[in-house]
Amino acid sequence: MNSPTPDDSTTGLGTALAAPLQPRPRRTLLQRWRGAWRRWSLWTALVGLVVSMLATLVWLAGRYEESQVQTQLERDAADAVVDIRVSLSRTLQNLQALHANDPGELAWEVGAADLLRNHRELIRIEWRDTSLRVRDHQQSPYRPLAWDRRLRESGQSDAAIACANARRLSSPAYSSSYFQPHGDGLGSEMMDLCLPLTTGGKVTGFVVATFSLREILLNLVAPNLTRRQEASFIEPDGTRLAVLGAARKGSRMFTSQHLLDMPGSTLVLRMDTWHAAPSLFPNVLTALVTAMSIALVTVMAVLVRDNRRRLRAERDLADALAFRKAMEDSLVTGLRARDLQGRITYVNPAFCAMVGFSAAELLGQSVTAPYWPPELVDEYRARQAVRLSGGEVPPREGFESVFMRKDGTRFPVLIIEAPLINAQGQHTGWMSAFLDISEQRRIEELSRASQERLQATARLATVGEMASLLSHELNQPLAAISSYATGSINLLEPASSTAAADAGDTASAPTTTAAPSAHDVEGVRMALTQIARQAERAGKVIKSVHDFVRRRDQARESLPAQQLLDAILPLVSLQARKLRVRVQTHVESGLPPVLCDRTMVEQVLLNLARNAMQAMDHPDIHQRVLDIRVLKTATGQRTGWIKFTVTDLGTGIDSDVAAKLFTPFYTTRSEGMGLGLSMCRTVIEQHGGFLGFAANEPRGTVFTFTLPVATPPAQSP
Ligand code: ADP
C-alpha cells in the first residue's frame, strides 16, 4: 500500500554534510615533493635556530661565568697590591721612626729588633753611614742568614744602587730584586729599601731594610686572597721571583697581573686561579639555561610528534572523506538528511538525479519540498508534522511514497528512514534512503501480464486436450437432433407414401391422408421439442467451454464454494464419463462464501480434477473415484480460510516427480504441457492461500488448497 510520506527528516551529520563535499584536487608528484620539501626545510630551519640559540645561550652563560671569575681575580690582585703598598709605607714610617730623636746605637738596635719581630717580611735592617758602610745592623729572629758584609757594602750592590737613587731623590728608594742564598743550598728573592737619613737638609746616613718577596706575599697580602689562588711576583719579562701558591685544581687558568710601582723599582704582582673545566653547568644560571633548553627541545620534539600525528590524522580523514564521497557518488540509492525543523541539510547526487533538482535547489527547503506532487502536499505536510513532533516511528522495512520529478512526472519511491544521532547522542534529525521503484513496478506489471497470458494459454491447452471429449459429447445431442429432424420430416411427407418409416425410437406410422393428422402434428411437436432440448444441451456444452476460455473478469468476488464446483462439474463429467470415473463432491454445510477470482479458481479446480482422473486412468485401477470436498480449516489454524481437497485413488506421486511437480513445463504425460500445477500454485498464492499435496490412503494423492472467506471473523463488527 502506498503511504506517501514526506517528513523524512534529518540532522547533525546534516550540518557537516550540508556543504557539498568538494573533491580534493589531486596533487602532482612535483607539488607533493615541493610541499614536503617546504615543510621539512621549515622544520630544519626551526630546529637549527633553536639549537644555535641554545648553544649561544650556553656559551654566553659560560662566558659570563668566566668573566665573573676573571673580574673577581682582578679585584683580588688589585686588593693585594693595595695591601702590599699600604703595609710597605707603614714599614717605611716605622723605619723612619727608628731614627727619630737621634737614637744611640743601643736604642737603635732595640728598636730595629722590635721592628724585625713585628714585621716578618723584614729580613735585615742596616744603619749605614754616608759612605754606605754598615754602622750597625739587626737580623730577623725568624730567618737569620749569613751575609757577606763585603758584598753588601760593595758599590755595585743592589743596596748601593738603591741608596744612590735615594740620595739623588732625597726620598726612600727600592732596589730591584736579587737572589740571596740562604747557605743551605736554598735562597730567596730579596729587595732592599734605602731610606736616606737627613739632618738639616744634609744626608747623614742611610737605613737599608731588606725585604723577602715571599714574606711580603705571605704577610702583607690578606690570607683570604691567597687561599684559593696563587700569588707571585714576577719581573716584567715574566720571570717568577716569589710564589705563594694554592694547590692547582681544575684545568682552566685565569690570570691577573698588577704593577706594584715603587720608587726605584717596579714589580708585577700576578694572581692565578684554576677552575674545573670543561664545566657543563658551572653555575645555577648555566644549569637553568640548559634545563630550559632541554625543556624547549623536548617541547619541540613533542610538537613535531604531535604535528606528525595531526598530519596523519588529516590524511586519514581526507581518505575517509574521499572514500565516503566516492561511495555516495556511486550509490544508486538517494540519500537525504533533514534537521529537526524539517530543513534539508544534505542530498547525494543519486537523490538529485532521481528528482531532477540540483542540490542547491533542495538544500534548506523545509515547508514544501519541490518534489512533492501538488495534489499530495497537504497529506505530506500533515505526516511531516507528525514525524517532527516525534509522534510516529518510521517502519524499519520502509514505506512507499510518490514523488514528482522536476518535469512533473510522478514516480513511486521506497523510503527507509532512521534517526540521526550525533556524537553526543542527541537526536538531531533524520536520514532517509530512497529507492526509485518505478522499474520494479514496471517489471511487476509485465510479470502480471505474462502470468495472465500464461494462464490463458493454459486454459486453451486444457480446452485443446478436451477437444475429443467435446466432439464426443456434442455428437450425442447432434445425432438426436438429426434423428428428430428426420422423423419430423417423415411425418410431414405426403400420405401417398404408405411405407412405414422407422424413425428411430420415435417412429410413427404415417397415414395416406393428404393432410397430417392431429397425431402426426403431435409427433412433430414432440420431435421439435426434443430437438430444441438437445440443441440446448449442445449449446450448454459449448457455452461451458466458451465461458471457461473467454472469461476475463479479474475481479475478486464473494461466492459460495458450491457455485465454483457447479461451474466445473459439466466439464469434469465429460472426462469422467470417458475414463469411467465416479465423481463425488461434498460441501460442508454452513460455510461462508469465499473471496476469489472465480475464473482462476475454477481453472485450479478443473486442473486438479483432471490430473486426478488422469492418474486413475490405468488398467490396474478399477476403483476410480474422484472426491472433491470443501471444508472449514481446522480450528485454530488459519481461521477465516476455507479448505478445498481433490482426492484420487490413482497411481500416486513418487519422490522424483514430487521434487519437480510445480516446475513449469514439467510433465510425465506425452500430451501434457506441464503448466497446470505451476499455474495453480501461482493463482492460490495470489489469493494469499496455500497449495500442497500428500499421499492418500490407501492409494492415490490428495491435493489441498485454501482460500480466504469473504468476511473474515476478525473484521466482522
Ligand atoms: P500436465 O497435466 O500438463 O502434465 P501438470 O502441471 O498439471 O501438467 O502436472 C504435472 C505432472 O504432475 C503430471 O504430468 C503428473 O505426472 C503429475 N501429477 C499431477 N497431479 C497428479 C496426481 N493427482 N496424481 C499423480 N500424478 C500427478
Of all protein residues, whose CA lies closest to atom 13 belonging to ligand 1?
667
Ligand 1 pocket: which of 616, 654, 667 to mutate (most atoms within 8 A of CB) = 667
Which residue shows C-alpha cell 637553568?
A: 288
Is residue 676 within 6 Å of ligand 1 at its C-beta? yes
Which residue shows C-alpha cell 754602622?
A: 135
| Ligand 1 atom closest to the CA of 678, numbered from 1 | 6
H/E segment holding residue 391: none
Q: Which residue has the higher pLDDT, 463 or 298?
A: 298
- For residue range 121-160, what is the model confidence (pLDDT) as tens digits? 999 999 998 888 988 999 999 878 888 888 888 888 888 9
H/E segment holding residue 136: strand 134-139
Q: Kindly calculate the radius of gyration of the chain based on its CA atoms and give it in whole angstroms.
A: 70
Which residue shows C-alpha cell 468476488?
A: 557
pLDDT score at 674? 81
Is residue 653 within 6 Å of ligand 1 at its C-beta? yes
Is residue 611 within 6 Å of ligand 1 at its C-beta? yes
Alpha carbon 340 to chain centroid, angstroms: 25
Question: Lowest-pLDDT range, 100-114, 254-268, 511-525, 628-642?
Answer: 511-525
- For residue range 281-291, what is the model confidence (pLDDT) as tens digits? 556 776 777 78
Of all protein residues, whose CA lies closest to atom 8 belonging to ligand 1?
674
Q: Is 248's pLDDT higher than 60?
A: yes
- The arithmetic mean of pLDDT across residues 668-680, rounded, is 83
pLDDT score at 624? 94
d(CA 368, CA 380) in angstroms, rounded, equals 9
Is residue 401 within 6 Å of ligand 1 at its C-beta? no
Alpha carbon 432 to chain centroid, angstroms: 22
- For residue range 486-538, what is the model confidence (pLDDT) as tens digits? 888 887 876 544 444 444 444 444 444 456 677 778 888 888 888 888 888 78
- The arithmetic mean of pLDDT across residues 297-325, rounded, is 90
Question: Lowest-pLDDT range, 224-228, 588-592, 607-611, 632-636?
Answer: 632-636
Measured N-to-C along each axis, helices 561-579 and 518-550 cross at an angle, to the nearest 10 degrees, of 110
**Is the CB of residue 350 less than 8 Å from the CB of residue 327?**
no
pLDDT score at 21? 43
Q: Is 92's pLDDT higher than 50?
A: yes
d(CA 455, CA 554) in angstroms, rounded, equals 12
pLDDT band at residue 14, thresholds of 50, 70 and 90?
A: very low
Which residue shows C-alpha cell 471457461?
A: 548
Is residue 9 within 6 Å of ligand 1 at its C-beta? no
Is residue 702 within 6 Å of ligand 1 at its C-beta? no
- For residue range 266-280, what is the model confidence (pLDDT) as tens digits? 889 999 888 765 555
What's the CA-to-centroid distance between 611 and ligand 1, angstroms? 5
Q: Which amino acid is at 505?
A: D
Of all protein residues, whose CA lies closest to atom 23 belonging to ligand 1?
612
- For residue range 379-393, what is the model confidence (pLDDT) as tens digits? 888 888 887 777 677
**Is the CB of residue 693 less than 8 Å from the CB of residue 702?**
yes
What does pLDDT average to over the chain? 82
Three-state SS letters, 241-295 = EEEECCCCCCCEEEEEEEEEEECCEEEEEEEEEEECCCCCCCCHHHHHHHHHHHH
Alpha carbon 618 to chain centroid, angstroms: 73
